[in-house]
């Protein structure tokens, strides 16, 4: 794999993906504090104070080279931040990345997550040179499962009561795609 740096906005037909800045705190807070949006995320709704710290961290994360490196660009529609894509190097040795996504609730159902994730997968396979990308999700998260399928990701695993999550045992689903499958 290659060392890759987020050194300018990425564009799709309708969207821009760019690193977050402190000006994005209010927009990010609007989804990170929304119980419906964070239902299947690992965190509980977040305060403005916590979101301010997180956005500062996300804005600094720009290199993908080693295990644990991540980027979390904002998804921008007509100048408005509507969500984010998360991408991290899960294993440099195995050239594997993990992808995640979130949109503000009022922007669900228009294909924006698919469009942003597809651009990130282009980067992952064509520029970072990864072999495989996976997504890990709660199988009850139907919108996220459907998005994996629309991206051509394969259902590879279902772990039963795999984690203690928000007061109950929850299952985990794994969806994956290889570079050659993405290109096809
Ligand atoms: C997961 C999540 C990002 C999916 O968002 P989404 O808007 O459903 O996904 P997409 O952007 O791919 O949009 C697909 C929908 O847009 C519709 N659509 C409308 N116009 C479209 C277009 N031009 N292109 C593609 N799809 C379009 C599709 O038909 C589909 O709707 P449907 O599900 O009713 O069939 C969103 O539900 C979310 O933010 N959830 C909370 C955060 C979360 O749980 N993240 C995942 C943690 S693992």
Quick check: helix, strand or coil at residue 77? Answer: strand
Query: Does 1 map to a domain?
Result: no
Give, using CA atoms, the residue closest to atom 31 of ligand 1. 109
Range of the domain at 92: 8-183
Return d(Cα 63, Cα 23) in angstroms, integer.
21
Residue 3 lies in a domain: no
What global pTM score does this model have? 0.97
Gap between the Cα atoms of 69 and 62, Å rounded: 8
Q: How many domains does the chain have?
A: 1
* pLDDT, one tens digit for every residue, the chain (184 residues): 999 999 999 999 999 999 999 999 999 999 999 999 999 999 999 999 999 999 999 999 999 999 999 999 999 999 999 999 999 999 999 999 999 999 999 999 999 999 999 999 999 999 999 999 999 999 999 999 999 999 999 999 999 999 999 999 999 999 999 999 999 9
CATH number at residue 33: 3.40.630.30
Measured from the Cα of 105, ligand 1's closest atom is 39
- 2 found inside a domain: no
* Ligand 1 neighbours (beta carbon < 6 A): 37, 40-41, 100-103, 108-114, 137, 141, 143-144, 146-147, 150
φ and ψ at residue 38, rounded to 5 degrees: -95, 5
Provide the pLDDT for residue 34: 98
Output the residue whose Cα is nearest ligand 1's atom 14: 111
In a domain, 174, yes or no: yes
Closest residue by CA, ligand 1 atom 35: 109
Query: Which residue CA neighbors atom 34 of ligand 1 most closely?
Result: 109
Contacts of 166 (CB under 8 A, 6+ apart): 44
């Amino acid at each position: 794999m290659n060392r890759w740096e987020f050194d300018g906005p990425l564009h799709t037909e309708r969207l821009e993906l760019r690193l977050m800045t402190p000006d994005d705190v209010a927009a990010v807070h609007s989804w990170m504090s929304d119980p419906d949006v964070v239902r299947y995320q690992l965190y509980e709704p977040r305060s403005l104070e916590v979101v301010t710290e997180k956005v500062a961290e996300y804005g600094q994360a720009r290199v993908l080279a080693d295990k644990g490196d991540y980027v979390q660009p904002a998804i921008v529609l007509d100048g408005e931040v509507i969500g984010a894509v998360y991408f991290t190097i899960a294993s440099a040795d195995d050239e594997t990345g993990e992808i995640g996504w979130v949109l503000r609730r009022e922007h669900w159902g228009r294909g924006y997550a698919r469009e942003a994730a597809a651009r990130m997968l282009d980067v992952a396979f064509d520029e970072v040179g990864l072999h495989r990308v996976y997504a890990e999700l709660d199988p009850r998260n139907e919108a996220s499962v459907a998005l994996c399928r629309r991206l051509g990701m394969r259902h590879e695993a279902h772990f039963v009561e795999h984690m203690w999550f928000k007061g109950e045992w929850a299952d985990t689903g794994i969806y994956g795609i290889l570079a050659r499958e993405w290109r096809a």
